[in-house]
Structure formats: structure tokens, C-alpha cells
Structure 1
Amino acid sequence: MTAVTVAGTPAAPPFATARAMLRLHRPALFLWTGVVLAALALMVWGYGWLAEPAAAAYQRLKACDYACSYDQDAYLTYKDVLRYASYLVTFLPLLVAAWAGATLTSRELESGTAQLAWTQSVTPTRWLAAKLLAPATLLTAGTSLLVLLHHLLWAEGRRADVLGWNDILIFQANGPTTVALTLFGLAAGALTGLLLRRSLAALAVTVAVTAAVGFGLNWFRGYFWPTLTVTAPLKDGPWFGGSVVSYGAVTSTGAHVPVPDCAQYWSAAKDCRAQLDKQHIVRFYSEMHPYSHYWPLQLTATALTLALTGLVVLLAFRVLERHTGTVAKGTAV
């Protein structure tokens, strides 16, 4: 444990500490501003000029019986813009995690800058609070704006049927889960920097942990809210609308059993019908989430991510206390 002497030294005002932190990370601030502005420009273009023509082109194509002309370029351009915007917004938390792990705390601890600041006018607790508060404010504002505009861009072009609400990129980029995951990346970077005190190692660990949490949320999101059970007749096969969590077959006794291999694609085949009758299968079922479950799933995932972020922040302050010998109020031991 490293003892830090701060007793008798006037503490720097909170706003002065935050301003010093922003000056130190000015290149990252400029980069973040540039990313936000570029993403905003891309989505404003798609929302204002591409969504409606793409929807009109798709509806014209959908109404055709055989062949007709439609504005294919408008449809494909909107699809590309939405896909690129979705990638950009979805992977923002990883960009933040990389920066936080590489520079937020690890670089100053590695170079000794943090220890020097602690012996002057900044207590360790206030130092870490400034490291988290100022970026968290900017990240929340910027990411929220991007998520809102992305949702508008997607909703404006829903009639184009490009990407459904349950697409992994759309679900992530359309709601507050992305904002929460961005804050998690920030907190995880601070914690790993305090633990490892090596920029490259902290960067790698932070990105890996943030990616794991993001993939975990998408992997288990179907279980965040009760599903609806939808059944379908044998002639239609299993139903895959909405966001399907599981599916199978229903026997005459009401039992749920796996779908025979032959029924995965064409349940009306004679050899398959004989197998279905042999197992007394009368219908298919799907456990799924309709679009009305979108916000319950989003808000549950967001709440879980924020709870995990709060835990990581608490651990970061505990690690700092253990390393510096300071108590929560930042006094010397």
C-alpha cells in the first residue's frame, strides 16, 4: 500500500480538477466530438433525404406481381446508411472502453503523474471522481443524441423493411442500453487502469470485458421479459416472427417436444407427415417477443448494465483506497 500525504494541502476546487482532466485528455475530447458530428451528419442525411424514398421504393416492389421498375438505388443507399450508422453506434462503447483502459487512469499511474497530483492539491478520491464525472457527462450527452437520432432514422424507414427491431445491431443502437454500456466501458477502464497500471494491458482487458458484457446482454436478452407463446398449424411450419427465443412442436396431449428434422422446412411432405403423426404432433409453437416487448427488454437490459456499472465504480474507489491508504473522504492515513 502506498501512503499519500495530502494533509494540510488545500484541495483543488472540483471544477478546476475537471477542467484539468479535460485539458489532459483534449485529443480524446476532439476525437469524440468528431465521431459524434460525423455520425450525426450521416444519420441526418439518412433521416431527411433517404428514408422516405427507400420506403416508397420497397412498397412499390412489394406491390408488384412479377416485374416492375423501382428506385433500387434509394433503397440500397438507405440500407447501407442504416447499417453503417448501426455499426457506429453499437461499437461506440468499445471505442470508449479502449480509450478509458489506455489513458483514463493507467497512463497517469504508469507515468507517476497521478501520484504527483495526490501530493499537491488533489486528493485521490477527488482525482478519480473527476476522471469519471466529466467524461461520463460528455459521453451520456453524445451517445444519447446518437441513439435518439438512430431510432428516428430506423423508425422513419420502417416501411422499407430493411432491418427489423430484433436485429442485434438495431436493438443495441436504438435504445438506452448503448448509453449504459458506454458508461460501463468508462468505469471498466478506470478500474482496470487502477488494477493493472499498464496502458496496453488495461486497454486489452477493458475492451474484452466490455465486449463480453455487450454480447452477454444480447445473448440473454430474450429472457429479460416473459415471452408469448404462439402456435401454428402443421401446414405452416414453425413460426419465426418477432424475436423467437425457442420453438418446437405440440403433441395431442399438449406436451412440447423438439421439431423433427424433416419438419424444419417443409412439414407438408408425405414422409414427414407420417413421422409427425407417429409422434402425435398436431401443431408447432414458438416462444417469442413481439415488438411491444421492445421497451421492456431495452429498459431491463439498461437497468442491469447500470447496476453493473455502479458496482464497477464502487470497486474502483475501493481499489484506489487500498492503494493509496485513503478513506472515502480522501484524508491521509
Structure 2
Amino acid sequence: MRWLLRLHRPAVLGWTAFVLVAGAALLWLGGPLTDASAAAWKEYNACAFDAPCSYDQDAIVLHKDVYLYTTSAVLVAPFLIAAWAGGSLTGRETESGTVRLAWTQGVTPARWLASRLALPAVLTAASTGLLVWLHRLARTAGEGRIDTAKPWHDVPTFYAGGTVPVALALAGLTGGALAGLLLRRSLAALTTAAVALAGLWAAVHLLLPHLWPTVTRVSDLRTGPSGSGIVVEQGALTADGDRLPSLCGDHAPQDCHTAPIDPDVVGFYRDLHPAAHHWPLHLTASGVLLVVAALLALAAFRVLRLRTAGPAGKDGPA
């Protein structure tokens, strides 16, 4: 393990710096920046509309900017892991041929790959989990205090505040290792791992709303569709309970008041995930991703065995 850390020292130091900077920024965001922005919003809300008003606008803007940057940092972390795993963890060693030297010194290919996945997996889970936890603390610190605070169901906020990034990072680690073994070219494996992880995340994003039963909110014609959260489906309801296509825009419920209404329509429905579904959705999606990560790891071991099996079926350099 010590030799592995020394071999990948630049990546370890770079990742440590990334986690420390992002973590410090999140602590700053959830503490002094949130307090300053909340105070500025309190001053602004106390202003009379017809009188001059003085409030700290810079504090509000700075809080929004730092929140954007730190959220992006949490979300990009799995891609950094995937790119490193593909380009350096296995891709560089198989491309240069140095891995064969390790196999001639009594280290079996299976043990070599296991050593490259075990410690990085622990460090990846711990560091990304720390960033997610700090992000959640920073976001909840501004709830009810900052008028421009992102709601929990804002897409970047939702993903950065749960376990999905941790599971994605582990899937990126094993997927990158597999890409390195298959392509045996560091740059090609790096690119493939990052692109594959993006595709995996897109698939999870489409699947996630259907991983947990939704809650239905019904409202009358005057109110329009009601209920906030992750909206899965919405539309009009007839007196017989039939559902009709949506008559209003997703982000403009007021359009429902002016939209042409079918005579049989008596109200609206909205199928959604409320705030109480935050953790069930994250944990279910993370479980799916961990299964994918395990399958990718098994595929990596299988590929390695096929490429190193000698004539007698024993592991050895190809």
C-alpha cells in the first residue's frame, strides 16, 4: 500500500489539495458567508418599497457564487476519480509495461488489481462522503434565512447533498480501472472512463424518479397544480378521475388559469417526490450504482485473467 501511494503521489497530493480547498470553502459557505448573506437579506426585507434602502448586496452575491462553485466541485469529483483510474491507476502501467515487472516478482495479476482498487476505494468513499456532508451542512444552514437559497430539489443541489456522488465515484473508480485494462492506453482510458461515467449518471438521472413511489397532490382549477418537489408527472383531472395531458407549463402554474380547459376538467394533479423522499431516492440510486460498480470490478478481474492466463491456465504475463 505504501508503494502504491508513492507511485501515485502526484495524484494523491492533488486530490488531497482538492478536498481540502473544497472542504474549507464549504465550511466558509456554511458559516460566515451564510451569516452575512442572511443579515443582508434581513436588511433588504425590512426596507420600505418607497424609501431608500441600504443592504450588503455583495454578501448576497458572494454567497451565491461560492455556493455555485462548491456545488460544482462536489459534482465533478466522481469524474476526477474516473479519469485518474483510467489514465493512471491501470492505463499507464499497462501501456508502459511496468505491470509485467510486478507480476514477475511474485505478485499475481489478481492481487495486483485488488491492491489498486482496495485503498483507492476507501479513500474515495471517505473523501467524497466528507464533501457531500459538508455541502449538506452548508445548504441547510441557509434554509429559511436566505431568500435565494436553492431548494432541495434543485438538480445540482439534490445530487450534491446525498450519497449518489459517493456511489458514482466508486463506479468511476472501477469503470476507469476496467477501461485502462481494456484499452491499455492512458489517454484513451481516461477519456473513455469520464464519458462512460457521464452516460451512467444520465441514465441514473432518468431512472431515479421512478425508483421510489411518488406522492400525488390534487388541486382545484383556481389554484392550479400544487406541491413542490421533484415533479414526475402532472396534468388535468376530470370528474371521473381520468388524467389528461398537462395544460400548463411546468414552471408557470399561472398559465393554467388562462389555458383552454376541457369542460370535464375539475382540477389538476401532480405526481412528485416531496422532501421526505430525499434519502430514499439517494439510497436506492446509490444501491443501483454500487451494484454497477461491483459488476465493473468483476469485469476488470475477468479481463485481467483472460489476458494473463498462460497455456496451462495459470496466471502469468501474456
Deviations 1:24-80 (A, max 9, x none): 111000100110111011111112201123234335545666365433222221111
Distance in 2 separating the partners of 1:259 and 1:174: 30
Give 2:2's aligned residue.
Answer: 19
Give 1:254's aligned residue.
Answer: 241
Secondary structure, aligned partner of 2:255: coil
Secondary structure, aligned partner of 1:237: coil
Distance in 1 separating the partners of 2:49 and 2:276: 34
Give 2:178's aligned residue.
Answer: 191
Secondary structure, aligned partner of 2:105: coil
Give 1:34's aligned residue.
Answer: 17
Matched, 1:48 2:37: no
Matched, 1:213 2:200: yes
Matched, 1:298 2:318: no
Give 1:170's aligned residue.
Answer: 157
Secondary structure, aligned partner of 1:288: strand
Distance in 2 separating the partners of 1:202 and 1:80: 33
Shift of 1:219: 2.5
Distance in 2 separating the partners of 1:259 and 1:178: 33
What's the TM-score, normalizing by structure 1? 0.87
What's the TM-score, normalizing by structure 2? 0.91
Distance in 2 separating the partners of 1:226 and 1:261: 24
One-letter code aligned to 1:182 = A
Shift of 1:149: 0.7
Deviations 1:77-129 (A, max 9, x none): 11111111100001100111111111111111111100121011311111101
- Equivalent position to 1:242, from 220, 224, 229: 229
Whether the aligned pair in 2 keeps the contact of 1:139 and 1:183 (CA below 8 Å) is yes
Q: How does 1:90-239 map to 2 (within 5 A)?
A: 90-159=75-144, 160-161=146-147, 162-239=149-226
Distance in 1 separating the partners of 2:198 and 2:159: 13
One-letter code aligned to 1:289 = H
Residue identity over aligned pairs, in percent, reads 45
Secondary structure, aligned partner of 2:272: strand
Shift of 1:267: 3.1
Of 59-68 and 159-168, deviating more is: 59-68
Distance 1:42 1:129, change over 3 A: same
Structure 2 alignment gaps of length 5 or more: none
More relative contact order, 1 or 2 (CA 8 Å, 6+ apart): 1
Matched, 1:74 2:59: yes
Secondary structure, aligned partner of 2:66: helix
Matched, 1:308 2:295: no
Whether the aligned pair in 2 keeps the contact of 1:194 and 1:316 (CA below 8 Å) is yes
Distance in 2 separating the partners of 1:264 and 1:149: 34
Distance in 1 separating the partners of 2:304 and 2:110: 8
Secondary structure, aligned partner of 1:230: strand
Whether the aligned pair in 1 keeps the contact of 2:247 and 2:256 (CA below 8 Å) is no
Deviations 1:182-224 (A, max 9, x none): 1111100100111111111111110011111122222322111
Whether the aligned pair in 2 keeps the contact of 1:168 and 1:218 (CA below 8 Å) is no
Of 155-164 and 233-242, deviating more is: 233-242
Distance in 2 separating the partners of 1:27 and 1:170: 30
Matched, 1:284 2:268: yes
Secondary structure, aligned partner of 1:287: strand
Whether the aligned pair in 2 keeps the contact of 1:98 and 1:189 (CA below 8 Å) is yes
Deviations 1:133-178 (A, max 9, x none): 1211221221111111111001101121411111111111111111
Distance in 2 separating the partners of 1:56 and 1:261: 37
Give 1:10's aligned residue.
Answer: none
Aligned CA RMSD, in angstroms, stands at 2.2
Distance 1:259 1:142, change over 3 A: closer
